[in-house]
């Protein structure tokens, strides 16, 4: 077993002096907060767990406890401060819920804070290890799936009957000599890592064990690594919070939620009770911004034997068909895949459930088109990132009257979609944003020669419309499906597959 050197070097060179060429056979070990990540505080990530699994009251408890944690950190020890954060966040929570948040929520926020110099060195090495005071259960999914870490050594939380007790297992919080001991234990049968990366004096004990050691200077102004440099793209993520909850943002969120919920109820009432031509203007008065681009077609006239137009939309939230109807100034029915009963009740437009039985759904859509215009979101589920999921080709076989519609939205506080939470709250969370924005772009009607009647297959039509909408939004087309999304966020088969799928639509 390797032992620490007796003479501890407290003056390590800056990471800028570390070469990252021909490191494929080297092993690197890095701290997380302030080293792999630009930010030195782990509070925002504990806050994400607290809010996602415990709501506003758990977040408030953590925020109050964080002041005690700060005092302990500066006047007693880093270990004492981290213990308080872990207790306030985890006590009584199911471990399965923590794992779910770590897999579906945290990677999006961690990836937006990667330190470019650390990533330059870390990504160049053949074997990558992380040594952190953070609970391993919180950080491991991101580090292994998105950064390619081979080994994650973190604080182990205590569990009783499937729930976290808020306490930690021996040897306690991994700081100082505990980090050095953990590294020695992990590499007891092999050589110590070639490179050590840290950022504070409590990292020096483990850094002194390695052949080369470098310090990451505190420079909060440094730009994070761009997302396209990650080994895997983050296509899917969950959770309600849009921004990383710093203490100030957490406090602002806590104060806003009661007022925001009342505002959302008012916005829902206005949308449900007023005629649609008036809803557009009333929404602007209440802070909901809807921007309309392009020229939509006139409504079909049954007296002339016209069938309805099928508006084919990208899917950003449950409100897409309603916002489309607001833009048109008339109610247009929508077919849905998995809309909550409550959302159906408060919807100002007619919604019709699809069964996912191809024959039954085709018959239903044809019947609705005979009655007039119709809205469909062929992705079958929402995607928050600038990607379009695979378009189901069924719609292309049922009519040749297609109008692609590019839908996009912007939120400042809350996401209006969820894969793991209560779907009935989706419209409320979207409308709880101070000033949510929707942009509706009507694209040109699909030419006859690009329809099924014009000789194209249904998959070619679906691919073309997907590509047209993606180009108008500057999004990327993917072959991911609803099943891929829920598998990714539920963790049944890990994260989504790598970049090769971001090229087009599969014919399945």
Confidence at 77, pLDDT banded by 50, 70, 90: confident
Mean pLDDT estimate for the chain: 88
Confidence at 454, pLDDT banded by 50, 70, 90: confident
- Which residues are within 8 A (CB) of 126 and not within 5 positions of it... i.e. 6 or more apart? 23, 24, 25, 26, 27
Task: Map out the domains of the chain with their CATH numbers.
Answer: 15-217 (3.40.50.1000), 274-501 (3.40.1130)
- Per-residue model confidence (pLDDT) at position 9: 46
Calculate what percentage of the chain has a pLDDT beyond 70. Answer: 93
Taking CA atoms, 443 is separated from 5, 317, 332, 447, in Å, by: 68, 19, 17, 12
The neighbour count for residue 229, using CB atoms within 10 Å, is 13
Q: What is the mean pLDDT of residues 58-73?
A: 93
pLDDT (tens digit, 9 = 90+) per residue, 329-382? Answer: 899 999 887 777 777 788 888 888 887 778 888 888 899 988 889 999 999 899
Rounded Cα distance, 449 and 212, in Å: 65
- Per-residue model confidence (pLDDT) at position 506: 38
pLDDT (tens digit, 9 = 90+) per residue, 122-132? Answer: 999 999 999 99
Residue 460 parent element (H or E): helix 458-473
What ranges in 386-445 are assigned the alpha helix state H?
394-398, 426-431
pLDDT (tens digit, 9 = 90+) per residue, 190-221? Answer: 889 999 999 888 889 999 999 999 999 887 67
pLDDT (tens digit, 9 = 90+) per residue, 155-193? Answer: 999 999 999 999 999 999 998 899 999 999 999 888 899
Cis peptide before 162 (omega within 30 of 0): no
Burial call 136-169: b when 16+ CB within 10 Å, e when fewer? bbbbbbbbbbbbebebbbbbbbebeeebbebebe
- Per-residue model confidence (pLDDT) at position 322: 94
Greater model confidence, 85 or 337: 85
Q: What is the mean pLDDT of residues 458-487?
A: 93
Tokens of 196: 């050590």
- Per-residue model confidence (pLDDT) at position 387: 95
Confidence at 491, pLDDT banded by 50, 70, 90: low
- Per-residue model confidence (pLDDT) at position 304: 57
- Per-residue model confidence (pLDDT) at position 390: 94
Q: Which of 78, 65, 251 is nearest to 166 (CA)?
A: 65
- Per-residue model confidence (pLDDT) at position 306: 67
Q: What is the mean pLDDT of residues 320-329?
A: 93
Q: Which residues pair with 94 in a beta bridge?
A: 163
- Per-residue model confidence (pLDDT) at position 220: 67
Q: What is the mean pLDDT of residues 264-268?
A: 95
Confidence at 146, pLDDT banded by 50, 70, 90: very high
Greater model confidence, 423 or 245: 245
The neighbour count for residue 505, using CB atoms within 10 Å, is 24
Tokens of 319: 């409100």
Whether residue 436 is predicted with pLDDT greater than 90 in this model: the reply is yes
- Per-residue model confidence (pLDDT) at position 345: 80
Taking CA atoms, 256 is separated from 80, 286, 413, 421, in Å, by: 31, 16, 10, 20
DSSP code of residue 351: E
- Per-residue model confidence (pLDDT) at position 495: 32
Whether residue 284 is predicted with pLDDT greater than 50 in this model: the reply is yes
Among all chains, which residue has been given the structure tokens 């470098």? 214
- Per-residue model confidence (pLDDT) at position 11: 77
């Amino acid at each position: 077993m390797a032992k620490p050197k007796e003479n501890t070097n407290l003056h390590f060179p800056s990471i800028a002096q570390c070469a990252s060429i021909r490191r494929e056979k080297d092993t690197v070990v890095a701290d997380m907060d302030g080293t792999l990540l630009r930010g030195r505080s782990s509070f925002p990530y504990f806050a994400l767990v607290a809010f996602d699994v415990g709501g506003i009251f758990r977040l408030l408890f953590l925020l109050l406890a964080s002041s005690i944690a700060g005092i302990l950190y500066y006047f007693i020890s880093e270990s004492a401060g981290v213990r308080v954060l872990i207790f306030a966040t985890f006590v009584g929570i199911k471990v399965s819920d923590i794992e779910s948040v770590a897999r579906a929520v945290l990677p999006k926020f961690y990836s937006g804070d990667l330190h470019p110099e650390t990533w330059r060195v870390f990504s160049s090495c053949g074997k990558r290890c992380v040594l952190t005071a953070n609970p391993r259960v919180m950080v491991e999914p991101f580090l292994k799936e998105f950064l390619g870490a081979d080994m994650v050594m973190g604080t182990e939380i205590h569990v009783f009957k499937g729930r976290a007790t808020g306490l930690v297992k021996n040897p306690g919080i991994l700081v100082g000599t505990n980090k050095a001991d953990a590294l020695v234990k992990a590499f007891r049968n092999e050589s110590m890592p070639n490179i050590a990366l840290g950022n504070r004096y409590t990292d020096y004990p483990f850094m002194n064990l390695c052949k080369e050691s470098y310090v990451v200077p505190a420079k909060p102004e440094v730009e994070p690594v761009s997302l396209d440099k990650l080994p895997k793209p983050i296509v899917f993520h969950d959770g309600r919070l849009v921004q990383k909850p710093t203490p100030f943002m957490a406090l602002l969120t806590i104060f806003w939620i009661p007022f925001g919920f009342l505002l959302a109820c008012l916005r829902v009432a206005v949308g449900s009770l007023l005629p649609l031509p008036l809803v557009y203007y009333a929404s602007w008065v209440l802070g909901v911004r809807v921007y309309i681009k392009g020229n939509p077609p006139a409504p079909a006239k049954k007296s002339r034997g016209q069938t309805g137009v099928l508006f084919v939309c990208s899917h950003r939230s449950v409100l897409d068909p309603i916002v489309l109807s607001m833009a048109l100034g008339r109610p247009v029915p929508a077919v849905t895949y998995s809309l909550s009963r409550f959302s159906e009740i408060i919807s100002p437009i007619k919604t019709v459930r699809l069964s996912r039985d191809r024959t039954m759904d085709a018959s239903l859509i044809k019947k609705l088109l005979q009655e007039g215009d119709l809205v469909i979101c062929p992705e079958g589920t929402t995607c928050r990132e600038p990607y379009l999921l695979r378009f189901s080709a069924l719609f292309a076989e049922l009519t040749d009257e297609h109008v692609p519609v590019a839908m996009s939205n912007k939120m400042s506080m809350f996401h209006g979609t969820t894969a793991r939470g209560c779907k009935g709250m989706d419209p409320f969370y979207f409308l709880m944003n101070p000033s949510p924005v929707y942009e509706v772009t009507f694209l040109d009607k699909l030419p006859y020669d690009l329809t099924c009647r014009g000789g194209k297959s249904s998959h070619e039509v679906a691919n073309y419309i997907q590509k047209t909408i993606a180009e108008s939004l500057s999004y990327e087309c993917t072959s991911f499906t609803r099943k891929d999304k829920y598998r990714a966020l539920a963790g049944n088969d890990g994260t989504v597959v790598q970049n090769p799928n971001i090229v087009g639509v599969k014919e399945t």
